[in-house]
Structure 1
Amino acid sequence: MTCQLGTSQCRSKQRHRVVIFRDFEGREIRVVTDLMQVTAEQIAQMYKARWQIEVFFRWIKQHLNIPTLFGTTENAVYGQLFCALIVYVLLKWLFDAAQTTWPKHAILSFARFSRLFLLQKLPVEWLIQIQHVLLKRVSASINQIIYSG
């Protein structure tokens, strides 16, 4: 099916194509496009791929705490995103490595751990466990350097 966009007073001259498909939950999705030479299946695939990009950016906003971007150039945006991803991965690694069988009062979610870590208000038992994990890792790295050379 095709259509023109706009109101009766201000309508586009070009006709647009309406493609209807269902998402993975069975909901009907309607997409208006000016791509006439592409199959409906290809348009549905393009839409789904673009939607995955939206999901990724939503995850970034929720987990990486990037309220604003410092720069507008492509390199500035990539740099800020990569730095935030590196910090996230390091914090997640530290959380997973330090998390052991804790007493009930010492269990933290990753979100709470991250918040308390950045505010420097982690419980003492977590600080001791983090110190143990980091010392163990540094010791293993030093031994690897010594015995590999």
Structure 2
Amino acid sequence: MIFQDANGHDIRVVTNVLEASAEKIAEMYQERWTVEVFFRWIKQYLNVPTLFGTNEHAVYNQLFAAFIAYVLWRWLYHRTEKRTTSSLSFLSFVRRFFSGQLPLEWKSEMAAVLFEYARIYGRSMPNFG
């Protein structure tokens, strides 16, 4: 089966799905490619080269934790005006977070947010490093 991408390049696909039209096959291929690009992004930016678990919940938990770490890491850099980012893996960020070895300005920023949370909602969150 042959179809063209958005740039007019021919894409040849071999399939055993004979009842689907070329347009439907192209749509399925595009959706699958989007998933591949997403996983490449996860491996590059979240530093998750392999998944630790094999069941659905383990995969979701690891990806969710990696997203949280990534967002926190990016947020801390922007809040502390660090425009030059170094490559910090998910595991090294978590280790530094729990061992209290994050930079002082990161700790100060997180403490300020936690104190503001306690002020607004009248309850505190657990202490950290």
TM-score, structure 2 as length reference: 0.73
| CA offsets 1:16-52 (integer angstroms, 9 cap, x no match) | xxx2112223321111111222121111111000000
1:25 corresponds in structure 2 to: 7
Query: Which one of 45, 66, 77 corresponds to residue 95 of structure 1?
Result: 77
One-letter amino acid of the counterpart of residue 133, structure 1: E
CA distance in structure 2 between the aligned counterparts of 1:48 and 1:73, rounded to whole angstroms: 26
Query: Which one of 107, 114, 126 corresponds to residue 138 of structure 1?
Result: 114
1:114 corresponds in structure 2 to: 88
One-letter amino acid of the counterpart of residue 63, structure 1: Y
For residue 113 of structure 1, report the CA deviation from its aligned partner. 6.0
Paired positions, count: 114
Query: Which one of 48, 56, 62 corresponds to residue 66 of structure 1?
Result: 48
If asked which structure has higher relative contact order (CA below 8 Å, sep 6+), I would say 2
5+ residue gaps, structure 1: 1-18, 101-106, 121-125
One-letter amino acid of the counterpart of residue 50, structure 2: T
- SS where residue 84 of structure 2 aligns? coil
| Aligned CA-pair RMSD | 2.4
CA distance in structure 1 between the aligned counterparts of 2:107 and 2:65, rounded to whole angstroms: 23
Residues 1:42 and 2:18 aligned together: no
CA distance in structure 1 between the aligned counterparts of 2:107 and 2:4, rounded to whole angstroms: 51
5+ residue gaps, structure 2: 97-101, 123-129
Higher strand fraction (1 or 2): 1
Q: Per the alignment, do residues 98 and 84 of structure 1 end up closer, same or farther by CA in structure 2, a change over 3 Å counting?
A: same
% of aligned pairs identical? 42
TM-score, structure 1 as length reference: 0.65
Q: More displaced, 50-59 or 86-95? A: 86-95
1:95 touches 1:113 (CA, 8 Å); kept in 2?
no
One-letter amino acid of the counterpart of residue 136, structure 1: A
